[in-house]
Structure 1
């Protein structure tokens, strides 16, 4: 890979700790970055993504799409030599869908009445 084709990226986690920096080709996809984040996730964190689908990457205030390349995501400001791009990592764990069907109660209802005579 040519030297100018590489981009240095650091991933900032929710608690302020970092993963990286790592050098990536401008042709690397956001999905590849997410897989790297999941594989290098530090042990002992309260939130740990199980798959790359649970990870969202943000750069320059935008959520990055999986099919975009690193070259498409960086801004002209990132072209200044020697700079490291910091991407924020957001973890959205999958919520298991609970059945929302209501149980039908076929039992006859008891009429309860309480009266007070004064």
Structure 2
């Protein structure tokens, strides 16, 4: 081995089937880095837009990828793709709910159950 890692070609597929972030990346890149990149590059014409990296989950082969893991640690398959093949990671956007939202009472009156 030469000690130099081969870049991995990735696409990130969003909820409506479009792809973003199509490029070559180092196997040592962390999932958290990808999330930050995706927030910055997210198309502004989409209905749902993540505001922060924690608003997203990256999914590969049915598994949610952990922020502190690298592509290599996440066992992203590369090198075995057919010519012209690209690895796709799915992006799920789940905006975080504000903890400061006031609770609404379901019943405006005080009820007594007897």
TM-score (normalised: structure 2): 0.77
What corresponds to 2:68 in structure 1?
67
User: CA deviation digits over 1:71-100, x for unaligned, max 9?
Assistant: 11234x533155321000000101112344
- Structure 1 unaligned runs (5+)? 103-108, 110-118
| Alignment partner, residue 30 of structure 1 | 31
**1:39 counterpart SS class:** helix
Matched with 1:13 is 14
Where is the helix percentage greater, Structure 1 or Structure 2?
1
Name structure 2 gaps, 5 residues minimum. none
Number of aligned residue pairs: 102
Assess, with a 3 A threshold, how the Cα gap between structure 1 residues 101 and 44 changes in structure 2: closer, same or farther.
closer
Q: Distance in 1 between matches of 2:73 and 2:12?
A: 18
Check whether the contact 2:57–2:65 (CA below 8 A) recurs between aligned residues.
yes
Q: 1:8 to 1:99 in 2, by over 3 A?
A: same
- 2: CA distance, partners of 1:35 / 1:101: 34
What are the within-5 Å matches in structure 2 for residues 60-99 of structure 1? 60-75=61-76, 77-81=77-81, 82=83, 83-97=85-99, 98-99=101-102
- RMSD of aligned residue pairs (Cα, Å): 2.4
